[in-house]
Chains A and B, each alone.
Chain A
C-alpha cells in the first residue's frame, strides 16, 4: 500500500501548481465561478470566458497535459493518475483542466475508434483546438438512453439526422457534438443506436440556450433538421453506440472537480476564523467546528474514490462500482457542502454576487443552487445506485 504520489507525480503536481499560478489571469480568483461536481457553473461555460478558456486549453495542449490519461500509442502518457492530479489542481483554482473532448471523448476514441479516425481527431483534441458537447439526453430520454428518438437515416455516405437533444452543456461554445442517434428503428433496446461526431456548423442545426437555475447559460436545446453527418464520423461501430456511451460514462464519472471541494472548505475555514458573531469568533463555536470537520472527513473520503478509480484504470481494471460511487458520493457531498456553507454564512449567505454584503463573493449561494445539478446529470443518483447494486454487487434485475 502507498497513499502518496511518486516523486515524479509530486514534481508534476508542483509544475501544474506553477502553471495555474502564472497562467491564470491575475483577477481570476475574483471572477472564477464553479461549484464542485456541479454542471451549471463549469469553468469557462459562461460565454464571456470563452476567449480566456480557449487560450488556456491551447496552453495546456502545448504542455501535453490534455492527453495525460490516453494510451501512449495515441500520444498520451497512459496515466489517469496524472490526469486526475491535473484535474485536482486546476479545479482547486476553479479553472478548466480539460473538458468533454479531452477527458471523455478522446479516451473513448482511443479505445474504440478506427486508426484513421484517431489520426484525424486525437492530435487536434490534444492540442486544445476542438471542443465537444455531449448529445445524449432528449426531452423524453434523460437517464434512459435506450429511449432516444433522434434518428439517423442512412443516405449513402452519410447519415441524415432529425430530432432534438437537450441539457447539452456547452453546445454553444463547442465545435462538435458527440451525438447518440437511432440508426435502426426496429432493433431491440440498446442495439440500434450509433454514436457520431456532428460538426456544429452543419446546416440544419439550431442551438437554443437554456438558462439554468443559477442564471447562467450552460445548457442548450439542439435541434437537428436534415443534418448530414458523414459516415466517417461514426465512433466505433454502427448500432453499437449504446455500448460506446457506457464506456465514455466511465470517464465522465471521474469529473467531479475534486480540488474545488478542498477549495470551498479552505475558504469556509478562513471565513469562520476571520469573522466574529455576537462577539465571538465563529471558528470557536463548537457547532461550526463540528460541521466543518465533518465536511473535511467527507472530502477526504471522496478522495479515496477519486484516486482509487484512477489507479484502477491505470492498471487496466474497469472501476465498475468505484466510478459510480465517486460520481454518486461526490455529487451528493456537493449538496451537503453547499447546505453546510449556507448554514454557516447565515442570512448574508442569500445575497447574490455583486452585493458588498455577500460573503465569499456570493459563491456559496451560487453553489447552493448549482449543487442540485450534479446528482441529476450524467446518470442520476438513483441510476448510480442501481449500477452499483446490479453490476457491482450482482443483484438480480427484475
Chain B
C-alpha cells in the first residue's frame, strides 16, 4: 500500500492551490454565477498557460502526458476553490473520449486546440427520460448519402451553448443489448438545426437543452465506430464520475476547513464553540466522512490510471461521495448557524454543489445498483 501522492503530484497540488487562492477567490465565483459569461476568459487563459487543459493529453498532441491520477489531484483542488468554467466538459467529456476513440485526424484537429485553451467541448448524452444507461437514448441518427442526419432532444448538456464542438450520442440502430447501435458524433456547434436553451440550475453551471432538428454531419464525424459507441460513453462516464467525486471531496474539505476555523473563533457561552462536544462530534464525523471517502476516490483513480478495471470502485465512490458531501455540508450549516443561511456567506456555494454533484451522472441508488451487479446479485 502507498497512500502518498508523488512529489510531482504534490507540486501540482500546491501550485494549483496557490494559483486558485489568488486567481479564483470566492467573490469571483459568486460574481461569475451572476453573469451570463461562458467562462471567466482571463482565468481560463491562465489555466491553459499552466498546462491544465493539456494535463492528460499526450505530448504528441500538445499536452504534457500526465496520468488520470494527476487529473484527479487537480480536480480535488478545483472543487475546493469552486473553480468555474468548462474544464470538466472540455477535458473530461471531450478530450478523454477523443483520446480514447478518435481517429488520428480527429485527435489532431481537436486535442492540440484543447491543450492551448482554444477549444471548448461537451457531450450531449442525457434525454428527458434519462436513467443513466443506454436504454434511455432515443435521439436518432440516420445515414443519408455521405452524411448522417441527427435529431432529438438532449438535456443537461454542460456548456452546450458555448462549446466549440459537441460529442453527440445517438441511436443508429438496435441490437441485443441496449448499448448496441449507439454512435458518438463530433458535431461543430455552429451547424444549422441546433436550437440551444440555457437551463437555470441551482448553481448556474451553464447546462442547457439542445434540440437537434435534422442536423447534417459528414460521415467522418463518427467518433470511433458506428453502432459501437456505447463503451466509449461508458468509459467516459466512469472517469467523469471519478473526477466529479474529486471535485466533491475538495468541496467537502473546504467546508470542513471553514467549519474548523469558525469553531475555533466563534465564542458562545464564554467558550469557543469548538470546545463543545456536540460541535466536536460533528467535526469528527465530517473528517471521517471525507477521509473514508477519499480512499474510495483515489483507489478508483489509481486503478484507472493503471489501466485496471475500476467499475466497482468508481460506482462505490460516486454512491458514497455524493451523499458524504451533502452530509458534511449540512453538518457545516449546523455549526455556522444563521450566517450560513445567507447569500453573503460561502456555505451556500458548497451546499448547492453537494446537491447537484450527487444528482449528476447518476445519484446514489443508480451507483449502488452497479455495485449490486458487481456483487453478482
Q: How far is the CA of A341 from the CA of B319 in the complex (A)?
A: 20
Tell me if A289 and B292 are in contact (CB < 8 A).
no
Residues in B whose Cβ lies below 8 Å from that of A223 = none
Q: Which residues of B sit under 8 angstroms from A301, Cβ to Cβ?
A: 292-293, 295-296, 320
- Option from A1, A298, A328 in Cβ contact (under 8 Å) with B3: A1
**Chain A residues positioned under 8 Å from B371 (CB to CB):** 293, 296-297
Stretch from B80-88, B135-143, B298-306, B344-352 contacting the other chain: B298-306
Complex contact A308–B316 (CB within 8 A): no
With both beta carbons as reference points, the residue of chain B lying nearest to A294 in the complex is identified as B368
From the candidates A81, A296, A386, A392, name the one contacting B375 in the complex (CB within 8 A).
A296
Contact B287 A325, beta carbon cutoff 8 Å: yes
In the bound complex, what is the Cα–Cα distance between A286 and B306 (angstroms)?
A: 33
C-alpha spacing A325/B6, complex, angstroms: 25
- Contact B368 A293, beta carbon cutoff 8 Å: yes
In the bound complex, residues from chain B placing their C-beta under 8 Å from that of A398 are 271, 275-276
Which residues of chain B in 303-330 are interfacial with respect to chain A, using CB atoms and an 8 Å cutoff?
303, 313, 316, 319-320
Quick one: which of A283, A305, A395 contacts B263, CB cutoff 8 A? A395
Whether a CB of chain B sits under 8 angstroms from the CB of A292 is: yes
Residues of A within 8 A of B369 (CB): 286, 289-290, 293
Q: Which of B164-172, B182-190, B277-285 contacts A (4 or more CB under 8 A)?
A: B277-285
Closest residue of chain A to B303 (Cβ to Cβ) is A3
Could you tell me if B284 and A308 are in contact, using CB atoms closer than 8 angstroms?
no
Q: Are B287 and A308 in contact (CB under 8 A)?
A: no
Q: Are A395 and B274 in contact (CB under 8 A)?
A: yes
B1 at the interface (CB under 8 A from A): yes
Mark A386-398 against chain B: 1 for CB-CB distance below 8 A, else 0: 1011101111111
Number of interface residues of B (CB under 8 A): 47
B375 near A396 (CB under 8 angstroms)? no
**Binary flags per residue of A295-311, CB closer than 8 Å to B gives 1, else 0:** 01110111111011011
Given A283-B377, A292-B375, A293-B369, the answer on whether A1 and B298 have CB atoms closer than 8 Å is yes
When distances are taken between beta carbons in the complex, the residues of chain A under 8 Å from B1 are 2-5, 81, 307-308, 310-311
A382 within 8 A of B: yes
CA separation between A321 and B295, bound complex, in Å?
A: 15
Neighbouring B residues of A393 by C-beta, 8 Å: 260, 283-284, 287
Assembly CA distance A398 to B274 (angstroms)? 9
Q: Is the interface of B mostly helix, strand, loop or mixed?
A: helix
Residues of B near A397 (CB, < 8 A) are 275
Q: Mark A62-104, 1 if CB is under 8 A from B, else 0.
A: 0000000000000000000100000000000000000000000
Asked if residues B365 and A3 are in contact (CB atoms below 8 Å), the reply is no
Number of A-B contacts (CB under 8 A): 151
- Do most interface residues of chain A lie in helix, strand or loop, or is the interface mixed? helix
Residues of A within 8 A of B283 (CB): 388-389, 393, 395
Across the interface, do B287 and A388 meet the contact criterion of CB distance under 8 Å? yes
The answer to whether B288 and A304 have CB atoms under 8 Å apart is: no
Please, what's the 1-or-0 string for A302-328, where 1 marks a CB less than 8 Å from any CB in chain B? 111101101110000000011001001
CB distance from A55 to the nearest CB of B (A): 32
Say whether A329 faces chain B, with CB atoms less than 8 Å apart: yes
Measured between C-beta atoms, what is the minimum distance from B29 to chain A in Å?
26
In the complex, whether B372 has a CB less than 8 A from a CB of chain A is yes
**The one of A4, A289, A386 that contacts B280, using a Cβ cutoff of 8 Å:** A386
Question: Would you give the 0/1 interface string for B1-15, flagging 1 where the beta carbon is closer than 8 Å to chain A?
Answer: 111111000000000
Given known contacts A296-B316, A382-B281, A328 and B288 CB-to-CB distance under 8 angstroms:
yes
Residues of chain A within 8 A of B281, CB atoms compared: 382, 385-386, 389
A304 B292 Cβ-Cβ under 8 A: yes
Known: A4-B1, A325-B287. A289 touches B377 (CB 8 A): yes
* Contact A395 B264, beta carbon cutoff 8 Å: yes
Query: Do B287 and A304 touch across chains, with their CB atoms under 8 A apart?
Result: no
> A305-B295, A308-B295, A311-B3 are known contacts. Are A293 and B372 too (CB-CB below 8 A)?
yes
| A169 is an interface residue with CB less than 8 A from chain B | no
B294 proximity list for chain A (CB < 8 A): 304
Residue in A286, A300, A395 whose beta carbon sits within 8 Å of that of B316 in the complex: A300
B272 interface contact, C-beta 8 A? yes
Contact between A1 and B2, CB atoms less than 8 A apart:
yes
CA distance A397 to B276 in the complex (A): 8
Q: Is A208 engaged at the interface, CB distance under 8 Å to the other chain?
A: no
A102 to chain B, nearest CB (A): 22
Query: Can you list, as one digit per residue, whether each of A26-45 has a CB less than 8 Å from chain B (1) or not (0)?
Result: 00000000000000000000
Please give, as numbers and ranges, the residues of chain A lying within 8 Å of B260 by CB-CB distance: 393-395
CA distance A384 to B277 in the complex (A): 11
- Would you list 5 pairs from A and B whose C-beta atoms are within 8 A, ordered by A residue? A3-B299, A3-B302, A297-B320, A321-B291, A395-B283
7 residue pairs, one from A and one from B, having the closest CB atoms: A304-B295, A389-B280, A388-B284, A289-B372, A293-B368, A293-B371, A385-B284
Q: A304-B294, A395-B280 are in contact. List 10 more A-B contacts (CB 8 A).
A: A1-B4, A4-B1, A265-B375, A304-B296, A305-B295, A328-B284, A384-B284, A388-B287, A390-B280, A397-B275
